[in-house]
Amino acid sequence: MASTAQSANTALPKGVSPLRAGTGTSFLWRRLHSLTGIVPVGLFLLEHLISNAEILNGANAYNGQVKFLTGLPFRLWLEIFGIFLPLLYHAAYGVYIWWRGENNVIDYALKGNWFYTLQRYTGVLVFAYVAFHLWTMRFTGIHLTEHYDASVWKVQTELAHPLMIAVYAVGMLAACWHFGYGLFLFAAKWGIVTGEKAQKRAQVLGIALGLLLTLLGLVTIYSFVTRPAQEKNPLWEQPVQEQSQLMAPAATVR
């Protein structure tokens, strides 16, 4: 049919595709991501912060807590399935989410959008920080499973440089914020808190919790840094009696 059109070069680009109704698995993966952020990763963060705060009760108390944790039964399996794998999944899928979002906080400098953006950047930050922290505290240096009584010493050595204190403080803030706000996101997305006012409250609560945990963390760091330097326990250079029973790698303090 003849027409007045110049149809060449005028096909519309496809644009964002419509909903793929009822197909695919991203729902499962995305919700799993959300869930792992709370259980177990978030719970573990809580436990970890509280355990660390044992330092406020003195070096012996802290070392004792490490001993208790490293002594838990099935510790390795707990670590792998309760922490490492979920953490890795949460981190990896999180990066994928971050990569696919189109940050527009410059144009829409709105509160929720800032928090959305922060959630992405804190996530990446925490990921880097945790990797570093694991490396220095869990996989290298004195093995605390074998030498729980060197725990305080190890932490203090790690925090010897002011730069390191800064790194830890920032990591702490990022992790706690990410968790606190993530808790709100969880409640909102899973339809636990749905009302408009209720959500405002939940958001404030989430952030408050994050900040509170940060405070706890900072006090803990402060406590480590200001406490007189701990001896590296002389025991560790000679074979300890129980040592043979503690064969598996371990750690919790990171």
Partner 1 sequence: MANKTVQFKIKRQDGPNSQPYWDEFEIPYRLGLNVISLFMEVALNPVTREGKQTTPVNYDSNCLEEVCGSCAMLINGKARMACSALVDNLEQPIQIEPFSKFPVVRDLQVDRSVLFENLKAVQAWVPIDGTYDLGSGPRVLPQVQEQAYRLSQCMSCSCCMEACPQFNESTGFVGAATIAQARLFNMHPTGKVLKEERLAALMGDGGIQECGYAQNCVEVCPKEIPLTKSISDVGGQVMKKAVLDFFRV
Partner 2 sequence: MAKTPRIIIVGGGLAGLSAAIKVAEAGGSVDLFSVVPVKRSHSVCAQGGINSAKNLKGEGDSTWAHFDDTVYGGDFLANQVPVKQMCEMGPSIIDLLDRMGVPFNRTQEGLLDFRRFGGTLFNRTAFAGATTGQQLLYALDEQVRRFESEGKVRKFEYWEFLSSVIDSKGTCRGICAMDLRTMEVLTFPADAVLIATGGIGAIFGKSTNSVVCTGSAQSALYQQGAVYANAEMIQVHPTAIPGEDKVRLMSESARGEGGRVWVPKNPKETRAGKDVPEGERMYFLEEWYPKYGNLVPRDIATRAIHKVVHTLGLGVQGLPMVYLDLSHIDAATLDKKLGGILEIYEKFVGEDPRKVPMKIFPGMHYTMGGLWVDNDQQTNIPGLYAIGECDYSIHGANRLGANSLLSCIYAGFIAGPHSMKYAAGLGADPEDLQASFDAEKKRQLELNNHLIENQGTENPFQLWREMGETMSKNVTVTRYNDNIRETEAKLVELLERYKKVNLSDRSMWSNQSFMFTRQLYNMLQLARAVAMGARLRDESRGSHYKPDFPERDDANFLKTSMARFAGAAEGPRFDWEPVDVSLIKPRPRRYDSK
Q: Is 163 in the site for partner 1 (CB under 8 A)?
A: no
Q: What is the 3-state secondary structure (H, E, C) of 177-198?
A: HHHHHHHHHHHHHCCCCCCHHH
One residue of 2, 73, 163, 191 binding partner 1 per CB under 8 A: 191
Q: Pick between residue 167 and residue 188 the one whose CB is nearest to partner 1.
A: 188
State the residues that interact with partner 2 by CB under 8 A.
1-7, 10
- 200 contact choice in partner 2, partner 1, none (CB below 5 to 8 Å, kind-dependent): none
One residue of 5, 107, 162, 241 binding partner 1 per CB under 8 A: 107
Structure tokens at 152: 């305080």
One residue of 38, 49, 55, 185 binding partner 1 per CB under 8 A: 185
Q: Is 229 in the site for partner 1 (CB under 8 A)?
A: no
Q: Pick between residue 151 and residue 203 the one whose CB is nearest to partner 1.
A: 203
Cα distances from 59 to residues 12, 83, 165, 215, in angstroms, run 68, 26, 19, 20
Stretch that binds partner 1, among 59-67, 104-112, 165-173, 242-250 (CB under 8 A): 104-112
- 157 contact choice in partner 1, partner 2, none (CB below 5 to 8 Å, kind-dependent): none
One residue of 100, 162, 244, 245 binding partner 1 per CB under 8 A: 100
Structure tokens at 136: 């220095």
The torsion region of residue 180 among left (phi > 0), alpha (psi -120 to 50) and beta comes to: alpha
Structure tokens at 2: 């003849």
Burial class of residue 185, CB neighbours in 10 A (0-12, 13-18, 19+): buried
User: What's the CA gap between 156 and 160, in Å, rounded?
Assistant: 6
One residue of 2, 3, 27, 226 binding partner 1 per CB under 8 A: 27
Q: Is 39 in the site for partner 1 (CB under 8 A)?
A: no
CA pseudo-torsion sign 168, 66, 143, 128: negative
Which residues here bind partner 1, judged by CB under 8 A? 9-27, 30-31, 97, 99-104, 106-108, 110-113, 115-117, 119, 185, 188-196, 199
